[in-house]
A = this chain, B = another copy of it.
């Protein structure tokens, strides 16, 4: 049997990242998020900052791409990648890295269209975590010390970015249940309970084989 991979898409402020962290801890496996970027950067030859600038952001302006492309290097700067905008190269480098990691070890991957990169992997369990807007506002305004209005704006902006990144690079729709195997509302059950539900689902997947 292959490695067990868990991909987690999440609304901003829904606690999806925490669910992923707790899941990885419970299973004693790695969580990939920003770390994933660093690793992708290393193997592709891009500098880390370029990755962070392009992380889950759908569109940089054409001009910005042109200018930044001058500074890009590594394997994605050779043909046939020469004419490709930098954000596409960054996406492809992440895509490759996600596939490599999934071959090497069981892990949890948060965001970054990992479910799409691993679409052919039957041992991949794709999860989406969401919550009611009022709970997300309350959580984000506390955590980032923002007014409720500012928190709502940040939530809407971040979700919009994540959705357009996902919808642009995959043939699926961000947040649509059909893009995932299991979707959970953290306004109804605790994050601990979400981890239990994910493990239960995995357990049942194995029995289904």
Contact = CB atoms under 8 A, between A and B. Distances in A.
Interface stretch (A36-44, A71-79, A187-195): A187-195
A205 B196 CA distance: 13
Interface residues of A, number: 26
Interface stretch (A47-55, A84-92, A149-157, A174-182): A174-182
Most buried by B among A196, A201, A207: A201
A188 B207 CA distance: 10
21 contacts: A128-B177, A176-B176, A177-B177, A177-B180, A177-B183, A180-B183, A181-B184, A182-B183, A183-B183, A188-B208, A189-B208, A190-B204, A190-B207, A190-B208, A193-B207, A193-B208, A196-B200, A196-B204, A197-B200, A197-B204, A200-B200
Nearest to A184: B182
Contacts of A205: 188-189
A118 B103 CA distance: 45
Chain A interface SS verdict (over half): mixed
Given A190-B204, A197-B197, A181 B177 contact: no
A202 to B, nearest CB: 9
A130 interface: yes
A185 interface: yes
A183 B180 CA distance: 9
A108 to B, nearest CB: 17
Contacts of A193: 201, 204, 207-208
Interface in A104-130: 125, 128, 130
A76 to B, nearest CB: 33
A208 B131 CA distance: 14
A201 to B, nearest CB: 6
Contacts of A204: 189-190, 193, 196-197
A111 to B, nearest CB: 15
Given A193-B204, A197-B200, A130 B188 contact: no
